[in-house]
Structure 1
Amino acid sequence: MNNKSLKVLAAAALLCAAQFAAAQNVPVAPQPSSPAKKELIAKLMVLQQPGVEQLSRVLLQQPLGPLMQQAGQALQQVPADKREATAKAMEAEIKKFVDDNAPMMRERALKLAPSTVGTLLEERFSEDELRQLVAWLESPVSKKFGQINGELQKALTDKLLADAGPILQPRFQTLQQNLAKQLGLPPAPNASSTPAPSAKPATPPKK
Structure 2
Amino acid sequence: MKHIPLLLALALASVAAQAQTPTAKPAAPAASAAAPVSAAKKALIDKILHLQQPAIEALARQLAEQPAVQMLQRAGAALQRLPVEQREAVAKEIQSDARKYADEATPIVRDRAIKLAPSTIGTVLAQNFNEDELKQIIAILESPVNRKFQSLGGEMQRSLGERLVAETRASVEPKVQALEQSVIRRINAASAPASAPAAASAAKK
Q: Which bracket does the TM-score occupy, shorter chain normalised?
A: 0.5 to 0.7
Given candidates 104, 108, 118, the residue that maps to 1:104 is 108
Instruction: Tell me how far apart the structure 2 counterparts of residues 52 and 37 of structure 1 sit (CA, whole Å).
Output: 21
3-state secondary structure, aligned to 1:28: helix
Instruction: Tell me how far apart the structure 1 counterparts of residues 16 and 157 of structure 2 sit (CA, whole Å).
Output: 28
The structure-2 alpha-carbon separation of the partners of 1:105 and 1:186, relative to structure 1 and needing over 3 Å to count, comes to same
Structure 2, gaps ≥5 residues long: 1-7, 20-32, 191-205
Task: Judge which range, 67-76 or 117-126, deviates more.
Answer: 67-76
Instruction: Tell me how far apart the structure 2 counterparts of residues 95 and 184 of structure 1 sit (CA, whole Å).
Output: 28
Q: Does 1:135 align with 2:139?
A: yes
Given candidates 125, 128, 131, the residue that maps to 1:124 is 128
Task: Judge which range, 35-44 or 136-145, deviates more.
Answer: 136-145
Query: Which residue of 1 is the match for residue 153 of structure 2?
Result: 149
Report % sequence identity: 42
Q: Does 1:28 align with 2:28?
A: no
Given candidates 74, 77, 83, the residue that maps to 2:78 is 74
The structure-2 alpha-carbon separation of the partners of 1:82 and 1:177, relative to structure 1 and needing over 3 Å to count, comes to closer
3-state secondary structure, aligned to 2:156: helix
Larger helix share, 1 or 2:
2
Q: Does 1:92 align with 2:96?
A: yes
List per-residue Cα deviations over 1:142-187 (Å, max 9, x = no partner): 2222211222233333444445555555555665666677x57449
Q: Residue 118 of structure 1: CA displacement?
A: 0.8
Give the root-mean-square deviation of aligned CA atoms: 3.0
Instruction: Tell me how far apart the structure 1 counterparts of residues 40 and 96 of structure 2 sit (CA, whole Å).
Output: 49
3-state secondary structure, aligned to 2:152: helix
- Using the size of structure 1 for normalisation, the TM-score is 0.65
Instruction: Tell me how far apart the structure 2 counterparts of residues 170 and 82 of structure 1 sit (CA, whole Å).
Output: 24
Give the count of matched residue pairs.
Answer: 163
- Using the size of structure 2 for normalisation, the TM-score is 0.65
The structure-2 alpha-carbon separation of the partners of 1:174 and 1:141, relative to structure 1 and needing over 3 Å to count, comes to same
Contact 1:28 1:124 in 2 (8 A): no
Q: Which one has the largest radius of gyration?
A: 2
